[in-house]
Amino acid sequence: MTSSAALEAAQQTSRFLSARHFYADLNSVSPALKQQIAAVVDASGARFVEAAVMAPVAPYGHRVHGERRAREMEEVSETLRSIGVEPIMSEAAARRQDWSARLDLAARFGPEGPKSYREVLKLL
């Protein structure tokens, strides 16, 4: 699941929750969105646990899909806006990650990835 579906997932799951449950949201989302998710879970009687987990790029290389990172950077932008900071770099990073995802490099190069950076440059 990507961060863009975090609230929807909580809404769909909440009808199955009760006071004996804990709901842990592991998405990298803005504090405001975490609060919305918490409200949905709290209404079910369950307890909300906030956490964020981001996998590092290094061990996964080309297999880290840009769309997920773009959604995460959009959440960073929302967080910065909420404290009065213009999110120039995070918005730019989100746009670049979307661009990268549209190239669908993983499908073009397969599970082994490109043989060299030259293959990627040729495609770009």
Find the angle CA(66)-CA(71)-CA(76) to the nearest 5 degrees.
120
d(CA 92, CA 84): 18
d(CA 39, CA 48): 9
pLDDT in tens, 71-108: 889 988 988 998 899 999 999 999 999 998 888 887 88
DSSP run (H or E) holding 98: helix 88-103
- Output b/e per residue, 49-75; b: 16+ Cβ within 10 A: eeeeeeeeeeeeebebbbebbbbbbbb
Residues 54 and 72 sit within 8 Å (Cβ to Cβ): yes
d(CA 37, CA 31): 10
What mean pLDDT, rounded, does the chain reach?
87
Mean pLDDT of 14-41: 93
Q: Find, among 53, 68, 79, the residue nearest to 2 by Cα.
A: 68
65: confidence class by pLDDT, cuts 50, 70, 90: confident
Residue 60 confidence (pLDDT): 64
Give the whole-number percent of the chain exceeding pLDDT 90: 45
Q: Find, among 74, 90, 86, 102, the residue nearest to 6 by Cα.
A: 74
Between 81 and 3, name the one with better pLDDT: 81
Q: Which of 5-9, 24-28, 60-64, 102-106 has the highest mean pLDDT?
A: 5-9
69: confidence class by pLDDT, cuts 50, 70, 90: confident
